[in-house]
Amino acid sequence: MSNSLGIHALSLRSEPWGASRYKRAVESTLAQAGVTIGASARCDIRVHDERAYAAFLQGSMGVGEAYMDGHWSAEHLDHLMARLFAAGLQADPPGIGTFAREVLAKVVNFQSRSRAFRVAEVHYDAGNDLFERMLDSEMVYTCAYWSEGDTLESAQRAKLDLVCRKLGLAPGMRVLDIGCGFGAFMKYACENYGVTCVGYSVSAQQTALARARCAGLPVEIVLEDYRAIPRSGQTFDRVVSIGMLEAVGVQNYRTFMQVVHDVLRPDGVALVHTVGSNVSAQHGDPWIDRYIFPNGMLPSIAQLGAATEGLLVMEDWHNFGPHYDKTLLAWNERFQAAWPELKSSYTERFKRMWELYLLAFAGAFRARSYQLWQLVLTRPGCPQPLCRVS
Amino acid sequence: MSNSLGIHALSLRSEPWGASRYKRAVESTLAQAGVTIGASARCDIRVHDERAYAAFLQGSMGVGEAYMDGHWSAEHLDHLMARLFAAGLQADPPGIGTFAREVLAKVVNFQSRSRAFRVAEVHYDAGNDLFERMLDSEMVYTCAYWSEGDTLESAQRAKLDLVCRKLGLAPGMRVLDIGCGFGAFMKYACENYGVTCVGYSVSAQQTALARARCAGLPVEIVLEDYRAIPRSGQTFDRVVSIGMLEAVGVQNYRTFMQVVHDVLRPDGVALVHTVGSNVSAQHGDPWIDRYIFPNGMLPSIAQLGAATEGLLVMEDWHNFGPHYDKTLLAWNERFQAAWPELKSSYTERFKRMWELYLLAFAGAFRARSYQLWQLVLTRPGCPQPLCRVS
């Protein structure tokens, strides 16, 4: 089972097919999801190159690469993806490739400490100019909270404040931020709640910018994996991890929670913010893995339950998945608007890859296949904190 | 692993011991939890019969039965139990008995349909007079919600209203209540939200009283197990189950969730309210199983995650475990006050059994070993309801 991009349910055919036969197979399968395919403006999927039909038979990798190559397009890519997700179509055609990934994922720790920096090199170091244009002014690269804001700016501020209130931050508290990105949470928490922060990140580019943005604040940033955090003392009042668990991997969820447990003061509070999946997977989607988030995968409730069991008590589990649909659309809008200025630094193929990433995820959240979870956690035996806020 | 009552960590000894040797073994183990034992008023545990020491070496069954027999007592039974839970002492001495229960729990479905009525016969049919005296006037036999009420009456009403608001009840909706008890939720929902209800219960005595209390309201009550609910049509707008999952058993959580899924309209909302455990168990505590809730056991997050996976989307997971501590103390207070009137119908041994049950659970919640969970669930692909209320 994988965190499927939900692109199609077609199985690999070994015999050589003519283009028309590929076309018929793709059309009849997509028709089950109410999706039409062709070359006209009325079709949900417009095919610009006949090779797209064969690509559609090759799982998310084929579909994604064909999109990047301009072999097909869709006027409403997010609607299309939501419909494919809603129909429950599988991204991975069952076959030897899927089987091999399943086996490998159990044997190899794809998110080992030595591999942990890979996602930074491929994704987070893609270019700060890109993220500066796409994100809000505080550069929050995680799901916004639209209940209290109707612009990306205000919704991201609302999310940061929601986290601070759930954690019950108070002046002088020492806060650990695991996967601190561009430092937006630490900056907000220091400026508005008077805490001091230590952040960990595996992205050199993010860390450089985060240090600059947090200059003058009681913030220390360490360019290291979460497994390098000293665990000998329970030295943090609060631990937060916003949008980093997606890179941890099922083999390491327990280690991650053990780190949270070990560094937290006995009466401390932790908050983990992550995208979640409806199904327990052993690996991520192949196209996303190659092009967007190397070694990324989404946890399930059962996996997080097993990972925290006996280590941490779950005090509150908030799901606001639909807010990520809106966030991704806002990012895509800003990305498209900035493209004329970004195009000198990035290829057209990169642009298509990036918009497919943003809009495929938007579709997955709209179809309710992916969720956005905030878990508040404490050490066993602690009094319950006042963390049930919205 | 069992949902341990947390009574002690002592292992069974096969060799015959003298009373003083038992005493030393018990004292030294309990000292680790900061608990003193003896015959004086200053001790946490007062021993009235030397046989109590040997009983303490026999797991929760020995401790519980010795309490029922009056061999030991405690001035603050709830504090004592909280301290034992907090120290993480095991209820079951490791031995052939525990091993046999582990194996049996995997082979035998202790909560099969044919056994499902057993808990009703032993517990819920204990006598409506008892429950009428112990509970609030609406006879809500589940955790109250003290955030909005400071008496048992108002806190129970607040809980019922909380559930109605999380479900988003509106006039004309058809609601299924799985394990409807004395009918308090259905009565409240009909009177205040204009819905119609169908309730299922395995307790004949509860059903008789529930029918009387709901007379004149659009409420139908079926004396049947949840597995008897017709699943052919998605005929309910809302499904609720308040304090019944504790009787379902790990082998049947998936079946339970399948029933919820099958009876729920495509855009329906379900709420499951249950006591939860920090650990994944295969069976319940032996003393609780024999005397209080036959075949009862508490689910873990991992178990509920596995049971709902692919069937239902978790929209919100609220933990208000500490409210059960307060609820149980209120019940015990009312039970003790009513004892002079109840004693003609119950034995002194029953009284001691009942107060141990109430106060041991209070201690477990205070120590944060047990949680009280409300999960809001929808069918996959549905828009998220507005269910995040407190």
Question: Can you tell me whether residue A268 is helix, strand or coil?
Answer: strand
The answer, for A266 touching chain B at a CB cutoff of 8 Å, is no
**CA distance, residue B38 to nearest chain A CA (Å):** 27
Reading the block at residue B265, the tokens are 């309209």
B148, B280, B317, best to mutate vs chain A, most A CBs in 10 Å: B317
- Please list every residue in chain A whose beta carbon sits closer than 8 Å to the beta carbon of residue B321: 384
- Interface contacts A/B by beta carbons within 8 Å: 105
- Please list every residue in chain A whose beta carbon sits closer than 8 Å to the beta carbon of residue B302: 302, 305-306, 309
Please give the Cα distance from B264 to B273 (Å, whole number).
Answer: 17
| H-run or E-run covering B310 | none
Give the one of B308, B367, B389 whose C-beta lies nearest to A381's C-beta: B367
- Please list every residue in chain A whose beta carbon sits closer than 8 Å to the beta carbon of residue B318: 316, 388
Are the CB atoms for B316 and A371 separated by under 8 Å? no
Q: Which of B136, B151, B379 is nearest to B259 (CA)?
A: B379
Q: With CB atoms and an 8 Å threshold, state whether B314 touches A319.
A: yes
Instruction: Report the 10 Å Cβ neighbour count for B265.
Output: 17
Could you tell me how far CA A36 lies from the centroid of its own chain?
A: 29
Evaluate if residue A322 carries a pLDDT over 90.
yes
Q: With CB atoms and an 8 Å threshold, state whether B384 touches A390.
A: no
**CA distance, residue B3 to nearest chain A CA (Å):** 13
Quick one: pLDDT at residue A128? 86
The answer, for A368 touching chain B at a CB cutoff of 8 Å, is yes
pLDDT tens digits along A121-178: 777 777 789 999 999 999 999 999 999 779 999 999 999 999 999 999 999 999 999 9
Q: Phi/psi of residue B214, each to 5°?
A: -100, 10
Are the CB atoms for B183 and B211 separated by under 8 Å? yes
Q: With CB atoms and an 8 Å threshold, state whether B314 touches A305.
A: no
Evaluate if residue A348 carries a pLDDT over 90.
yes
Look up the CATH architecture of domain B113-321+368-378. Answer: 3-Layer(aba) Sandwich (3.40)
Which residue type does B290 have?
A: R
> How confident is residue A86, by pLDDT bands cut at 50, 70 and 90?
confident
Q: Please state, in angstroms and as integers, the Cα–Cα distance from residue B108 to each residue in A135, B101, B120, B121, following that order.
A: 56, 10, 20, 20
Q: With CB atoms and an 8 Å threshold, state whether A305 touches B309.
A: no
Q: With CB atoms and an 8 Å threshold, state whether A384 touches B368.
A: yes
The answer, for B2 touching chain A at a CB cutoff of 8 Å, is no
Q: With CB atoms and an 8 Å threshold, state whether A301 touches B305.
A: yes
Quick one: pLDDT at residue B14? 45
Please give the Cα distance from B259 to B257 (Å, whole number).
Answer: 5
Give the one of A309, A310, A322 whose C-beta lies nearest to B384's C-beta: A322
pLDDT tens, per residue, chain B with 390 residues: 455 554 443 444 444 566 788 888 888 888 888 899 888 878 899 999 999 998 888 888 999 999 999 999 999 999 999 998 888 764 555 555 566 666 666 777 878 888 777 777 777 777 789 999 999 999 999 999 999 779 999 999 999 999 999 999 999 999 999 999 999 999 999 999 999 999 999 999 999 999 999 999 999 999 999 999 999 877 999 999 999 999 999 999 999 999 999 999 999 999 999 999 999 998 888 899 899 998 899 999 999 999 999 999 999 999 999 999 999 999 999 999 999 999 999 999 999 999 999 999 999 999 999 999 999 999 999 999 999 999
Give the one of B367, B369, B388 whose C-beta lies nearest to A318's C-beta: B388
The answer, for B162 touching chain A at a CB cutoff of 8 Å, is no
Evaluate if pTM is beyond 0.90.
yes
**CA distance, residue B368 to nearest chain A CA (Å):** 5
Please give the Cα distance from A333 to A324 (Å, whole number).
Answer: 14
Quick one: pLDDT at residue A10? 42
Quick one: pLDDT at residue A99? 62
Domain edges within chain A: 19-107, 113-321+368-378
Quick one: pLDDT at residue A16? 55
* Helix (H), strand (E), coil (C) string for B114-168: HHCCHHHHHHHCCCHHHHHHHCCCCCCCCCCCHHHCCCHHHHHHHHHHHHHHHHC
ipTM of this predicted structure: 0.93
Helix boundaries (H) for chain A: 19-31, 51-55, 59-68, 77-86, 96-107, 118-119, 128-134, 152-167, 184-193, 204-213, 253-263, 286-287, 301-308, 322-342, 348-366
Q: How many helices (H) and strands (E) does chain B have?
A: 15, 10
